[in-house]
Amino acid sequence: MNQSILAPIKNSWILLRSIAVVSSSVTTIVSTILPILLYYTVAPDKLLLVFLLLLFGAFLIHGVLTHVLNDFADYNSGTDQNSPAILSGGSRVIQTGVISASSLWLLGKWLIFSLSLIVVGLIIFGFFKIALLLAIGLWGAISYSLRPFQFSYRPFIGEWLSMFPSVFVLGLAGAWLTLDSIPTWALQNALINALFCLAWVMVHHIPDRDADRNASPIKKTSVVWAFEKFGSAFSRLPALLYFTMAGLCAVWLGADRILAMIGALAVIATAIFLVLKMQIDNHYQVSAYEKIILILAMINGVWLGIFT
């Protein structure tokens, strides 16, 4: 009996890929909620409610739905089966027989249907902001993995039309729901955290470049595009590009947020150093460095939240 109860919980935890969700979605939420807690007069119960609402939405959309659809799409194309599968290659729930592909797809369809109904209900009852946030999250998850969009299979489009809007808006959400307007610091934090997220996802794709190239259809990520365009050594180019963009945005913090700028630049410079140093053909080293970069993402988000 205990095993039958624990099995769904264990399977859900595997599918969730919580480390990725915490280092991206949860980090960008904290990066906005923390300054409001420290420097604004907002009712604690309201702030806690907003935080818990965003946290639940992040795990549901970015953790469950996104990974359900991504696992299903990548299993069908064959890329996950050929992945080194250290940190990348999906949650492996299909490959290990934990959940069948058909069951995963059924779960994905029901989640899309249910969340779409919730969006409609929120609009009807006048909760327009929450409806828009949920709709953007839905769009990101669906467009990233499912046809006819399947933007994750196209270079740069997956990052900018699916991932970036979803993470960026989540970073703005705390301020948008609790304050009269979105302050400049919230915009800055959300932008830097979202770009940092894009960068580490590009590192995440490096070990999978051969599996992605042999998929059907070919999963032509930005990493695969750079590899085919310039050669193997340039597989790290997309990550370096997005880290550089994050660094340029950190300079925007300027004198008004000098400590935030120094800290962000130090973290980003460390991440760039790791990307330049990594041996991209050594999947274990790339994955080890990715873990460090995930920790850096969390440090960066909290640092930006404190020094506002």
Nearest to 57 by CA among 109, 105, 122, 149: 122
pLDDT of residue 4: 53
* 246 neighbors 268 (Cβ within 8 angstroms): yes
pLDDT of residue 1: 45
Q: Is residue 199 packed enough to be buried (19+ CB in 10 Å), middle (13-18) or exposed (0-12)?
A: buried
Percent of residues, the chain, with pLDDT higher than 70:
95
pLDDT at residue 8 greater than cutoff 90: no
Can you tell me whether residue 69 is helix, strand or coil?
helix
Per residue in 216-242, pLDDT (tens digit) is: 999 999 999 999 999 999 999 999 999
How remote is the C-alpha of 142 from its chain's centroid? 14
The pLDDT confidence band at residue 43, using thresholds 50, 70 and 90, is very high
By residue count, the chain amounts to: 308
The pLDDT confidence band at residue 281, using thresholds 50, 70 and 90, is very high
What interhelical angle do 184-205 and 283-306 show, nearest 10?
A: 170
Percent of residues, the chain, with pLDDT higher than 90:
85
* 177 neighbors 39 (Cβ within 8 angstroms): no
DSSP secondary structure letter of residue 149: T
Spell out the alpha helix ranges (H) of 64-163.
Answer: 66-77, 101-124, 128-145, 157
Per residue in 77-103, pLDDT (tens digit) is: 999 998 887 777 777 788 877 889 999
Per residue in 189-207, pLDDT (tens digit) is: 999 999 999 999 999 999 9
Residues 222, 237: Cα–Cα separation, whole Å: 9
* 271 neighbors 223 (Cβ within 8 angstroms): no
Amino acid code (one letter) for 111? L
Work out the widest C-alpha separation in the chain, in whole angstroms: 60
How remote is the C-alpha of 229 from its chain's centroid? 26
Within 10 A of 106 (CB to CB), how many other CB atoms are there?
Answer: 14
Nearest to 138 by CA among 69, 219, 55, 222: 69
Structure tokens given for 288: 């080890």
1-10, 24-33, 296-305: lowest mean pLDDT where?
Answer: 1-10
Handedness of CA 28, 30, 31, 32 (dihedral sign): positive
Amino acid code (one letter) for 51? F
Residues 148, 16: Cα–Cα separation, whole Å: 25
* 27 neighbors 297 (Cβ within 8 angstroms): yes
pLDDT of residue 12: 61
What's the pTM value of the predicted model, to 2 decimals?
0.94
* Average pLDDT value for the chain: 93
Average pLDDT over residues 260-274: 98
